[in-house]
């Protein structure tokens, strides 16, 4: 059960994962940490040294695994913020501490609206603030010394990140771009485009993305045509589709490579050759030509690898979109807003309890509370109770081990070095990061407390149980007070989301040359964002449903969300770019007619517009239409489709789960459309 709970509450992160840590890096990192920490420990500044090591851990968690350029840019602002939080935390007390904790936890939770990576940054800032304010690690050393050791920790993190990424700084970008050739997640192309821009927009990878967009649009249309065909025609189209995917897989391998001197024969294959050989040279649909054009563009780009960088996107436009997304989520209809508010209120209640307790033994309380509430966007009562039991058990085990060891202090250096070296693992699992922080705090408390081991272990366990109880109470009360529904209305939620996206598509080709038209478009985008957020939130509440029902809703939610993001990206472009892409918006509005039973058809000639704007719209439209039909085919009133007795706690969970189309979602919140 514990393994299942820990797996369920992992926060998937979109950044690529590194492999095993090289032994050379382990030795050098341990040596550098030892040289830096030894003087502080000998001078009696052990708490400040621990704080500096935690700054290094948090810095590597928020900036790692992605392109080196983007990670260093993140460290340039997130690193100083972490230092300030760790240094100033011990200065706060009373009402000021309560208010600051509320603002940090709520604000960091809302950072997830800006994208998948920002969700990790927000969670790390919140965890750092809880450690600094109530952990009591460096309270005796003063903020100036902690600021200095924090700067040393940040410098160590920068050095480690540069050392691991200097050999191939753009390797993660190539891997993410290559992944778009083989997956079927309709939102992956948009995400790869944003990663590409964060890495300085290498021109040859931009051409890969354009070719991939064409290929994916043609592939989606051909998949629909294959489903609509029968007999020999179905076999012919399926053969083309299968061979195209084989070619794309080979090209993805070439894109990932640091250099390419030639392509294997399979990568140069015409995807229609086998079908023509087996079934004759009858005319093939336009979607096949679209795939051919896209694959050929990729072949040329891979071989030539033209140097240079594409023009950067407007920072001002990105800022406007970020503000718009944040404002759209400032509503009780947003599950992310409710979740951020729930976590902030729970931590505030825990902070008040900490202030009432007579000593500093309540240090683990807030982290336990945060570990119970934060990882899940939505959850059942059973899941919340299981996670609560795991958290309390882990803290109790840590307390017993630390309290009865003859020299518990020896655990700290080994634990901190392991956290720094395992930052890539902590980045993918918020509960694991919080458990490690709890371990550090428990050991520090054992060193600071002068009590019998048994009494100390019982005290820490009781404090953790209090924190978990507060989390459950706040979660349950917020479910009763905040808007929500025990039994999800799958058809109704999908219907509202689809029509909101259709309104956005209609607004995209409406009268934008007037202030009223632009205001109406922004309003349509806000409504569509909230409706798709409601649809995304259904997935985690269907864990009692059959696997086919879960798959159906997951696919529909992913496609409708990706379509909204693609339409929003196009709608707020400059007039000349938007005008060229308007046929795609018209197509989306027509195909997404919820009441229509007509087969989905898309005019691929509209790809003549800006490909990276148009192709994602067409692809997501086709997948969304197919998914809508699958949802409508399910009788949601039958218990076999959905267990209406499932009791929801109103908490939140990340809906990303693997499925047969690899519709892997990295988070459940809409992000800024770059």
For residue 358, how many other CB atoms are within 10 A of its CB?
6
Residue pair 303/263 in contact by the 8 Å Cβ criterion:
yes
**What is residue 398's predicted lDDT score, i.e. its pLDDT?**
83
* pLDDT tens-digit readout, 473-524: 877 776 666 655 456 778 888 888 898 999 888 887 765 667 777 778 888 8
Structure tokens at 187: 């939102």
Cβ within 8 Å of residue 99, ≥6 positions away: none
Q: Which of 61-75, 267-281, 368-382, 463-477 shows the lowest mean pLDDT across its residues?
A: 368-382
* H/E segment holding residue 380: strand 376-380
Q: Where are the alpha helices (DSSP H) in 330-452?
A: 335-356, 363-373, 381-404, 411-421, 423-428, 430-448
Q: Which of these ranges, 10-14, 146-150, 158-162, 517-521, has the smallest mean pLDDT?
A: 10-14
pLDDT for 669 = 39
Work out the mean pLDDT of the chain and round it to a whole number: 78
Helix H or strand E encompassing 53: helix 46-62
Q: What pLDDT does 177 receive? A: 94
The average pLDDT across 613-627 equals: 88
Give the pLDDT band (50/70/90) at residue 648: very low
User: Which of 176-180, 187-191, 541-545, 667-671 has the highest mean predicted lDDT (pLDDT)?
Assistant: 176-180
- State yes or no: pLDDT of 659 exceeds 60: no
- What is the phi-psi region of residue 18: left when phi exceeds 0, alpha when psi lies from -120 to 50, beta otherwise? beta
User: 15 versus 214: which is more confidently predicted?
Assistant: 214
Residue with tokens 């938007």: 578
Query: Residue 634's pLDDT band (boundaries 50, 70, 90)?
Result: confident
Cβ(666)–Cβ(656) below 8 Å: yes
Q: State the pLDDT confidence band at 656, using cuts at 50, 70 and 90.
A: very low
| Tokens matching residue 403 | 């309290």
Averaged pLDDT, 574-580? 78
Higher pLDDT, 527 or 408: 527
Average pLDDT of 359-385?
67
* Least confident stretch, 167-171, 256-260, 343-347, 570-574: 570-574
| Phi, psi dihedral angles at 374 (to 5 degrees) | -65, -40
pLDDT at 82: 93
The answer to whether 85 and 62 have CB atoms below 8 angstroms apart is no
Q: What is the pLDDT of residue 609?
A: 63
What pLDDT, in 10s, does the model give residues 273-306? 888 888 777 788 888 999 999 999 999 999 988 8
Q: How confident is the model at residue 44 (pLDDT cuts 50, 70, 90)?
A: low
Is pLDDT of 321 > 60?
yes
d(C-alpha 101, C-alpha 107), whole Å: 10
Categorise residue 155: left if φ over 0, alpha if ψ from -120 to 50, beta otherwise: alpha
Residue 545 confidence (pLDDT)? 65
> Which pLDDT band, with edges at 50, 70 and 90, does 18 fall under?
very low
Based on C-alpha coordinates, what's the Rg of the chain?
26
Regarding predicted confidence, which is higher, 342 or 380? 342
Confidence of residue 78 (pLDDT cuts 50, 70, 90): very high
- Paired tokens of 589: 């509005």
DSSP 650: E
pTM, two decimal places: 0.80
**Rounded distance between C-alpha atoms, residue 371 and residue 395, angstroms:** 11
Tell me how far apart the alpha carbons of residues 411 and 415 are, in angstroms, rounded to a whole number. 6
- Collapse the DSSP code of 652 into the 3-class scheme (helix H, G, I; strand E, B; otherwise coil) and give the result: strand
What does DSSP assign to residue 11? Answer: -
What whole-number distance in Å separates Cα of residue 376 and Cα of residue 123?
A: 12
Closest CA relative to residue 132, chosen from 83, 95, 99: 83
Residue 96 scores a pLDDT above 70: yes
Q: What are the helix (H) ranges across 166-202?
A: 171-179, 188-198
């Amino acid at each position: 059960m514990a393994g299942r709970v820990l797996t369920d509450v992992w926060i998937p992160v979109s950044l690529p994962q590194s492999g095993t840590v090289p032994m050379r890096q382990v030795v050098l990192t341990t040596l550098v940490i030892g040289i830096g920490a030894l003087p502080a420990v000998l001078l009696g500044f052990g708490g400040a040294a621990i704080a500096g090591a935690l700054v290094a851990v948090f810095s590597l968690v928020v900036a790692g695994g992605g392109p080196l350029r983007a990670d260093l840019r993140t460290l340039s602002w997130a690193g100083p913020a972490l230092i300030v939080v760790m240094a100033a935390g011990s200065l706060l007390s009373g009402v000021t501490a309560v208010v600051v904790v509320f603002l940090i936890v709520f604000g960091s939770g809302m950072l997830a609206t800006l994208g998948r990576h920002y969700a990790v940054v927000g969670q790390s800032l919140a965890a750092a603030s809880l450690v600094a304010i109530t952990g009591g690690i460096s309270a005796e050393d003063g903020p100036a010394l902690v600021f200095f050791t924090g700067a040393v920790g940040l410098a160590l993190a920068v050095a480690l990140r540069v050392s691991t990424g200097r050999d191939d700084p753009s390797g993660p970008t190539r891997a993410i771009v290559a992944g778009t050739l083989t997956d079927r997640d309709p939102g992956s192309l948009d995400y790869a485009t944003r990663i590409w821009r964060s890495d300085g927009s290498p021109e040859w990878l931009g051409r890969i993305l354009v070719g991939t967009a064409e290929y994916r649009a043609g592939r989606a249309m051909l998949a629909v045509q294959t489903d609509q065909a029968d007999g020999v025609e179905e076999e012919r189209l399926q053969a083309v589709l299968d061979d195209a995917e084989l070619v794309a897989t080979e090209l993805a391998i070439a894109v990932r490579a640091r250099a390419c001197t030639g392509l294997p024969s399979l990568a140069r294959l015409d995807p229609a050759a086998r079908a023509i050989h087996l079934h004759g040279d009858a005319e093939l649909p336009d979607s096949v030509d679209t795939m051919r054009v896209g694959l050929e563009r990729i072949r040329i780009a891979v071989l030539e690898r033209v140097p240079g960088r594409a023009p950067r996107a407007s920072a001002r436009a990105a800022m406007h979109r970020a503000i718009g997304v944040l404002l759209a989520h400032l509503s009780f209809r947003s599950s992310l807003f409710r979740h951020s508010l729930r976590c902030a209120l729970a931590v505030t209640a825990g902070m008040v309890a900490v202030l009432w307790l007579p000593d500093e033994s309540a240090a683990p309380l807030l982290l336990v509370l945060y570990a119970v509430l934060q990882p899940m966007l939505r959850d059942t009562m059973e899941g919340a109770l299981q996670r609560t039991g795991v958290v309390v058990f882990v803290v109790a085990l840590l307390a017993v081990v630390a309290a009865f060891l003859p020299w518990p202090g020896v655990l700290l250096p080994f634990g901190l070095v392991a956290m720094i070296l395992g930052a890539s693992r902590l980045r993918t699992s918020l509960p694991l990061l919080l458990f490690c922080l709890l371990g550090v705090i428990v050991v520090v408390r054992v060193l600071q407390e002068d009590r019998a081991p048994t009494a100390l272990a019982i005290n820490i366990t009781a404090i953790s149980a209090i924190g978990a109880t507060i989390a459950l109470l706040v979660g349950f009360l917020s479910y009763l007070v905040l808007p929500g529904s025990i039994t999800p209305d799958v058809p109704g939620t999908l219907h509202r989301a689809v029509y909101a996206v259709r309104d956005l598509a209609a607004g995209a080709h409406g009268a934008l040359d007037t202030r009223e038209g632009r205001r109406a478009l922004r309003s349509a985008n806000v409504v569509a964002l909230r409706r798709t957020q409601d649809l995304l939130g259904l997935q985690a509440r269907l864990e009692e449903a059959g696997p086919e029902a879960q798959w159906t809703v997951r696919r529909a939610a992913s496609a409708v969300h990706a379509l909204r993001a693609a339409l929003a990206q196009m709608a707020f472009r400059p007039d000349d770019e938007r005008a060229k892409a308007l046929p795609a918006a018209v197509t989306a509005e027509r195909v997404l007619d919820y009441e229509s039973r007509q087969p989905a058809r898309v005019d691929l000639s509209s790809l003549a517009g800006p490909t990276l704007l148009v192709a994602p719209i067409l692809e997501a439209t086709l997948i969304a239409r197919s998914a809508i039909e699958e949802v409508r085919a399910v009788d949601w009133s039958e218990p076999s489709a959905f267990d209406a007795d499932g009791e929801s706690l109103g908490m939140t969970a990340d809906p990303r789960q693997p499925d047969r189309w690899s519709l892997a979602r990295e988070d459940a919140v809409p992000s800024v459309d770059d």
